[in-house]
Amino acid sequence: MDIQAIVEQVWAELAERRGSGAVADYIPALARVDPRRFGIAVATPDGGFHCAGDADEPFSIQSISKVFVLALALDRHGARLFDKVGREPSGDPFNSIVQLERDQGIPRNPFINAGAIVTTDHLIDDRPVDEAVAELLALLRKMARDPGITIDGEVAMSESTAGDRNRSLAYFMASFGVLTNAVPDILDGYFQQCALALSCRNLAEAGLFLAFDGTDPVTGERVVSSARCRRINALMLTCGHYDNSGEFAYDVGFCGKSGVGGGILAVVPGRASIAVWSPGLGAGGTSLLGAAALKAIAERTGWSIFG
């Protein structure tokens, strides 16, 4: 199968729709991104890449960071983490607060904002926030084999300025005793992780271990146990796109995680890791063109996880 040709065809067929969807504008720094950017990168276990378009331009990965934070928080705390965050799809928007009151401040899953605030609290644990953020950055740099990956300080600042909803979620959970660290510290870590800037190539490579049982197929190094890897992938499939997760599983059939920066990381167990980026979002907060590109790649490669 000529994956490079498939990636180039899919990019070319969708390129005329660049600019469709709505760029997230509730974070001012994201509203300034060129809506016509569109990149695709497929990373394969032999260390190869198949790229098209703006695959080397760093973008704000936003909620995609929640996957890597979950992996590190589980590493630190094991399954006890799930005493404080659930494993069920929310059926609500990513920044919804309504369910928290019904469930005594326990968020439905680690991939909505409230859930990621809980996993960030666990990642920080009993150390300074910057140490936890440095661990996350080191993981991404190592997995993507790119020491140049950074956090976009302007986006992080913008997140904080526009962060009233996330503050509300965090203080609401704190009122139920769900959080351990001080809310401003947790949000500092949360805003920084959302502002991580990676290219499609970086992201596809960083996510490759999730497609190969928790092991980096290029170096053979284990990142998470295979049981944990399966569970992270299960959560990506069921909760990776908020109340759009069912639609994404139905349409695309890959484990995936989207972010409001317009990126999507898709994991195809045993095959590849794919990152797409197009800033225009659909109503559920997932990249319109990105999801369309993944759907087309799934159809042409026959790689759906459902056979």
User: Does the annotation mark 190 as catalytic?
Assistant: yes
User: Does the annotation mark 171 as catalytic?
Assistant: no
Phi, psi of 275 (to 5 degrees): -125, 135
Cβ closest to ligand GLN, residue 44 vs residue 193: 193
Which phi-psi region, left, alpha or beta, contains residue 258 (left: φ > 0; alpha: ψ -120 to 50)? beta
Residue 288 Cβ vs ligand GLN, minimum distance, rounded to whole Å? 14
- Give me the 75-94 binding string for ligand GLN, x by CB under 6 A, dash otherwise: -------------------x
Given the residues 23, 190, 218, 287, select the one marked as catalytic: 190
What residues contact residue 94 under an 8 Å CB cut-off, 6+ apart? 63, 112, 113, 242, 260, 285
Residue 118 Cβ vs ligand GLN, minimum distance, rounded to whole Å? 13
User: Does the annotation mark 242 as catalytic?
Assistant: yes
Residues 182-241 that bind ligand GLN (CB under 6 A): 194
What residues contact residue 182 under an 8 Å CB cut-off, 6+ apart? none
The answer to the question of residue 248 lying near ligand GLN (CB under 6 A) is: no
User: Does the annotation mark 26 as catalytic?
Assistant: no
Given the residues 155, 260, 267, 268, select the one marked as catalytic: 260
The answer to the question of residue 263 lying near ligand GLN (CB under 6 A) is: no
Identify the residue whose tokens are 């049981």: 227
The SS3 assignment for 108 reads coil
The answer to the question of residue 159 lying near ligand GLN (CB under 6 A) is: yes
Given the residues 23, 33, 60, 66, select the one marked as catalytic: 66
Cβ closest to ligand GLN, residue 73 vs residue 260: 260
Residue 192 Cβ vs ligand GLN, minimum distance, rounded to whole Å? 10
User: Does the annotation mark 66 as catalytic?
Assistant: yes
**Rounded CA gap, 286 and 281, in Å?**
5
Q: Hey, which residues does 73 pair with through a beta bridge?
A: none
Residue 264 Cβ vs ligand GLN, minimum distance, rounded to whole Å? 11
Given the residues 7, 60, 63, 276, select the one marked as catalytic: 63
The answer to the question of residue 95 lying near ligand GLN (CB under 6 A) is: yes
In contact, 41 and 201? CB cutoff 8 Å: yes
Cβ closest to ligand GLN, residue 106 vs residue 194: 194
Identify the residue whose tokens are 């459902």: 306
Residue 31 Cβ vs ligand GLN, minimum distance, rounded to whole Å? 13
In contact, 158 and 30? CB cutoff 8 Å: yes
Q: Exposure of 251 by Cβ count < 10 A (0-12 exposed, 13-18 middle, 19+ buried)?
A: middle
Q: Exposure of 164 by Cβ count < 10 A (0-12 exposed, 13-18 middle, 19+ buried)?
A: exposed
In contact, 261 and 60? CB cutoff 8 Å: yes
| Interaction site with ligand GLN (CB under 6 A) | 62-63, 94-95, 113, 159, 166, 194, 259-260, 285
Catalytic residues: 63, 66, 190, 242, 260
